[in-house]
Structure 1
Amino acid sequence: MVATRRDPAVHRGLDPDKLVTSALAIADADGLSAVTIRRLAQQHDVTPMALYRHFRDKDELFAALAERLLAGVELPEPDDRPWDEQLRDVLAAFVAALRPHPNVAELTLTRILTSAPGLALAERTLALLQLTGLDLDQSARIGRQVLCSLVTLVSTEPGAEEHGAPEARDDAIHAKRTALAALPPRRYPYVVAAADVLICDDSSDDYYRLGLDLAVAGIRGVSPTG
């Protein structure tokens, strides 16, 4: 009797969900560029070919990462409050799902309209924008821009671009602050004075609260109902 060789990925209990979790952890720690099929295979002690059983290439893996983040958006139930209050809660739910993973946030841009959770977010956003008196085309333009702006808000959070060990991140942030503080104060008085906040705001909650407030206020400013 000829023995059959078991798939190493099956033998080790690998599945797409576990692989996405591992890839997300790599991206969170070292940035999206660090996520490769080879590194993921090494982490699970299998050959890269074993992973191709689940993902045809890195693009498919990245699509799965994006869908993981979008699946984490907990949309609030519709209610009778004004459209702007409801929309802020919807946008806040989107930010809350992206916020723990700033290095991966940008991947969601191409998956919002190609995944079930992304489509649910888009549909709810458009429905609320229709309550502003805008026509559907303008609602679509605004909805697209505001979701894109929130992805950028997360991916460019001050300090989020620093990867590696906490000590290395702290050193990098300190070096940037020092560089701004060393600028000629007569020429750049406001930049020098605001160096700490410009490089890394100590209150990330305030950072996101302000971003959401500005997004909703901007929509109010261009809507017929104000």
Structure 2
Amino acid sequence: MRQNTRAPRGLDPEKIVTSALAVADAEGLDAVTIRRLAQEHQVTPMALYRHFTDKDDLLNALADRLLADVVLPEPDERPWHEQMRSVLAAFLDALRPHPSVARLTLPRILTSTPGLALAERCLALLREGGFDVPQAAEVGRQSICALVALVTAEPRVDPQPDQESPEEAISARRATISGLPARRYPNVVAAADTLAYCTDPAHYYRVGLDLAVAAMRGISPTAVV
């Protein structure tokens, strides 16, 4: 008898993406598979293939979900760089809860509607800041890449098999840094607490945003030398 692969009523792409995002957040992208999600929804893998052609198609949908979650602020009368900071902050807000998925957004920015909205807004603000079209494109691209890296590189601690808790892992990392030769690496040793773990994520991201916007202003053709 031929097996019925029709997707059951109630199984829609958004629910599948939500489940896939939860798996990625908890276990990483490698854990996101068609078979795993089929089990989550108690259907056959073929039922999911009616919505996604393959895993790459599913991963694209994850990236598009993050980009759709970017709540772009309305244009206002503030200087271009202040508006840019708000736009980039909105981008970070959407990515921060999903560090395992964040890198997938880069190739989707110019191929999805929400990604294009973000790109258009950034480019418009950079043009307002005095950059010509090629400059704006390059500055915008590198700034977005830097913010994605900020999310994926946020200092986190995963306990090793011989460690019982994140606190133990943090302590071990701190001890390793503090144990370096202080005469050779005095500044690294002095910064052991901060380098061992991100104790203040809000400050971490605030500094990242400040650096990105300051860099834009610093190389703007309208910058005062």
Q: Tell me if TM exceeds 0.5.
A: yes
Q: Name which of 7, 10, 14 aligns with 1:9.
A: 7
Q: In structure 2, do the counterparts of structure 1 residues 163 and 89 end up closer, same or farther at CA, with 3 Å as the change threshold?
A: farther
> Which deviations, in whole Å up to 9, do the C-alpha atoms of 1:29-82 show, x marking residues without a partner?
111122111221222222222211111111000000000000000000001110
> Which deviations, in whole Å up to 9, do the C-alpha atoms of 1:181-203 show, x marking residues without a partner?
22222222221221221131211
Cα distance in 2 for partners of 1:57, 1:5 equals 20
CA-CA distance at 1:5 after TM superposition = 6.5
Q: In structure 2, do the counterparts of structure 1 residues 39 and 208 end up closer, same or farther at CA, with 3 Å as the change threshold?
A: same
Q: Which residue of 2 aligns with 1:22?
A: 19
> Which deviations, in whole Å up to 9, do the C-alpha atoms of 1:74-94 show, x marking residues without a partner?
000001110011010011110
Q: Name which of 155, 160, 163 aligns with 1:158.
A: 155
Cα distance in 1 for partners of 2:167, 2:42 equals 32
Q: Name which of 116, 120, 131 aligns with 2:128.
A: 131
Q: Name which of 60, 63, 73 aligns with 1:63.
A: 60
Q: Does structure 1 residue 204 correspond to structure 2 residue 217?
A: no
Q: What letter matches 1:44 in structure 2?
A: H
% identical aligned pairs? 64
Q: In structure 2, do the counterparts of structure 1 residues 65 and 210 end up closer, same or farther at CA, with 3 Å as the change threshold?
A: same
Aligned Cα RMSD in Å? 2.1
Q: Which residue of 1 aligns with 2:80?
A: 83
Q: Which residue of 1 aligns with 2:105?
A: 108
Cα distance in 1 for partners of 2:19, 2:170 equals 27
Length-normalised TM-score, structure 1:
0.90
Q: Which residue of 2 aligns with 1:183?
A: 180
Q: Which residue of 1 aligns with 2:45?
A: 48
Q: Does structure 1 residue 117 correspond to structure 2 residue 114?
A: yes
Cα distance in 2 for partners of 1:174, 1:123 equals 45
**What is the DSSP-based 3-state SS (H/G/I as helix, E as strand, rest coil) of the residue aligned with 2:131?**
coil
Cα distance in 2 for partners of 1:42, 1:74 equals 33
Cα distance in 2 for partners of 1:205, 1:158 equals 13
The gaps in structure 2 that reach 5 residues or longer are none
Length-normalised TM-score, structure 2:
0.91
Cα distance in 1 for partners of 2:103, 2:142 equals 14
Q: What letter matches 1:107 in structure 2?
A: L
Q: Which residue of 2 aligns with 1:174?
A: 171
